[in-house]
Structure 1
Amino acid sequence: MDESSDEAPAPVDPEPVLRVGMVDDHRSPVWGVERILQDVTDLELAASAATVGELLTQTTELDVVLLDLRLGDGTTPMENVSRLGEHGIRTVVYTSGEHPDLLRSAARAGTLGVVLKSASEEQIVAAVRAAGRGQEVLTTEWAAAIDGDPNLDAVDLSPQLQRVLTLYASGGTSVSVGQELGVAPDTVNEYLKRIRQKYADAGRPTRTKLDLFKRAVEDGWLPMPHRSGHGED
């Protein structure tokens, strides 16, 4: 007699649970995502915080982080995406859709995409799942941010040049920047010439100090200023 029909079916491996983090300095979006994910068996909201630093002190065992663009600690999207990436954590920008320049900054740092806070629950879940698998999160907002920046990869500054740009554009002088970096003012001026030349080559001239500040904001080296604006050149 054939007893094979009595054999139990082979067990099916369950879907791995993706550990999700969230960085937002307002609690209501966190509560919303918590509610959305509570019945999703393959996604777990494992940690949330107001800053990336606070999140990483809680845990680095995360697969993907939903990241708000503008945080109260003044960090830039580029800093935050890069810092999470150092721990092997993927990111999806979770935003109301404003500030395309900040989206481009996040893109330069390697975020996988953007999902709007007004998106449907299904879209948010799909975005987190895709990012957890290492796939880009393709949305119209993401495409618009990328397409709107023809110079996305046009200016590549070394860490030293980035530091010079941020210090100088933030109001420093050749002397004060040199003191901060331990180099002579003439060396700082040479760095600034190289920075200006790189932007000129990319078709984004920097004739004034204010121009340098604008480029630093556009490229994510400095946070976007508040409405009070930036000081004069």
Structure 2
Amino acid sequence: MVDDHRSPIWGIERLLESEPDLELVCAASTVDELLAHSQLQNEGLDIVILDLRLGDASTPRENVNRLTDAGIGTVVYTSGEHPALLRSAAKAGVLGVVLKSASEAEIIGAIRAAAQGNEVLTTEWAAAIDGDPELAAVDLSPQLQKVLALYASGETSVTVGRELGVTADTVNEYLKRIRQKYADAGRPTRTKVDLFKRAVEDGWLPVPERGSDRLAGPADGDR
């Protein structure tokens, strides 16, 4: 289980105590910590129960992709108040979404189904995928993902290029490709704030903290 608060972990531990076919092998506050733990302990993991919003500012898409690459399925365990985060995880290929307010039977059933490699078909998961049909998918290469995340966070073309080892002109060409892809999907990115919004919507950047200045996006002077 990956959650940076202890109480949900204690709750899952209690739920699984009486389930002989299910065992909570380990828990961690980040995916990095979990993968390091499982490798050190040489534990086999069938699934990870993942909280969407973690303190290391990782995105659900990044976390699900990393777990998938490690051969581990993911069930999102969430309070459900951040639709953009749910969409990000759903698009990355989670096995399902379970609300923390669900009944004990529903939670145990979802964990058991996912551990057997089955998708957990819940209304929350369906809503995460279909709730915003206007958000047409935009497929970005890993390099374009990095450019978008860095630039939309407030970096300039020069600093993004320095970070990625390319020239500012190359970064600007990447940004043209990104903007064209979003335009083709009917989701324009005329300003830097637009790029920030798209990056959050698609899970390339985490949802800003409530009340943070980041809610307004980066300054739009550098386009």
Q: When the two structures are superposed, what TM-score results if normalisation uses the length of structure 2?
A: 0.92
What SS does structure 1 have at the residue aligned with 2:26?
strand
> How many corresponding residue pairs?
212
- Structure whose alpha-carbon radius of gyration is higher: 1
**What is the root-mean-square deviation of aligned Cα atoms in Å?**
1.2
- Please name the residue that 1:229 is paired with: 213
The answer on 1:54 being equivalent to 2:33 is yes
The answer on 1:103 being equivalent to 2:86 is yes
- Deviation of residue 150 (structure 1)? 2.3
Contact residue 108 and residue 152 of structure 1 kept, 8 A: no
What SS does structure 2 have at the residue aligned with 1:47?
coil
Contact residue 146 and residue 152 of structure 1 kept, 8 A: no
Gaps of 5+ in 2: none
The answer on 1:37 being equivalent to 2:16 is yes
Contact residue 96 and residue 120 of structure 2 kept, 8 A: yes
Residues 152, 43 of structure 1: CA spacing in aligned structure 2 closer, same or farther, 3 A cutoff? Answer: farther
| Counterpart AA for 1:100 | P
| Counterpart AA for 1:213 | F
Compare the two structures and name the one with the higher strand fraction.
1
Q: When the two structures are superposed, what TM-score results if normalisation uses the length of structure 1?
A: 0.88
- Please name the residue that 2:145 is paired with: 162
Following the alignment from structure 2 to structure 1, what is the Cα–Cα distance between the partners of residues 94 and 136? 14
* Aligned-pair identity (%): 75
| Counterpart AA for 2:154 | G
Gaps of 5+ in 1: 1-21
Following the alignment from structure 1 to structure 2, what is the Cα–Cα distance between the partners of residues 103 and 229? 23
The answer on 1:27 being equivalent to 2:11 is no
- Deviation of residue 55 (structure 1)? 1.0
Following the alignment from structure 2 to structure 1, what is the Cα–Cα distance between the partners of residues 128 and 57? 21
Following the alignment from structure 2 to structure 1, what is the Cα–Cα distance between the partners of residues 213 and 76? 25
Following the alignment from structure 1 to structure 2, what is the Cα–Cα distance between the partners of residues 217 and 34? 32
Following the alignment from structure 1 to structure 2, what is the Cα–Cα distance between the partners of residues 128 and 78? 20
